[in-house]
Copies of this chain bind each other. A is one copy, B any other.
Amino acid sequence: MTSLSPTERTTLGRKRNRAATDRATLYAVLDEALICHLGVVRDGAPLVLPTGYGRDGDTLYLHGSTGATTLRTASGEVEVCVTVTLADGIVYSRSVNNHSMNYRSAVILGRARAITDRDAKMHGLHVLTDHLSPGSWEHARGVNAKEFAAVSVLALDLAEASVKLRAEGPDDEPDDVAADAAWAGVLPIRTVFGEPEPSADLPSSWAVPEHVRTRVSSPEAVGR
């Protein structure tokens, strides 16, 4: 069972042809991006905040240090929309109107729940750390009791989810192609990691550890 479960809420209206219903695509988007945008309703109005997250199977973990925490109901749950977007390219068309972006975007709806069980919460922290900085869970000092008590972790099932994407060249009108009066193509967008900057208070004897060094993008990754 690899397809998503589109519902009326996750069917995004126009351009349905851009909807991907394959769970592997959902996972790929979630695993590649670094942050999500977490939407909640506060006093009847929308509020959207950037938030760290991580995925384990069909569970999305969210850092609880956001507006969502204060919005929990008595059940410890809060209705959320989590959106994760990767910008892949700017599409230059022969007409202004057909300019577009190549992108991949996942939208997940549901009720995020605060994790209270100790082991489950520690697992959530592990997943969040592995997403932001793979290898840090093993390399850095672990979470102590005071820190553990102060942090909160939310979990959201990847049940009601959709992925939309555009991954193609310009889609021009035949008349515009025939006129040949403007350039058309895609300017790729890449997110890359630069050279690590050691902390000012780090002894100079430290080399950049492998779990950080191996993340630095190669010139090829920049696509030039």
Contact = CB atoms under 8 A, between A and B. Distances in A.
B194 A224 contact: yes
A191 B224 CA distance: 13
B44 A101 contact: no
Nearest to A38: B48
Interface size class of chain A, counting residues whose CB lies under 8 Å from the partner chain? 35 or more
A224 B217 contact: yes
Interface string A78-97: 01111101010110111111
Contact of A203 (B87, B180, B224): B180
User: What number of copies of this chain does the assembly contain?
Assistant: 2
B187 A170 contact: no
Contacts of A133: 90, 92, 99, 187
B50 A103 contact: yes
Interface of A: 9, 12-14, 34-35, 37-50, 52, 65, 67, 70, 79-83, 85, 87, 89-90, 92-97, 99, 101, 103, 105, 107, 109, 125, 129, 132-133, 136-137, 139-144, 147, 151, 169-170, 172, 176-177, 179-203, 206, 208-209, 212, 215-217, 219, 222-224
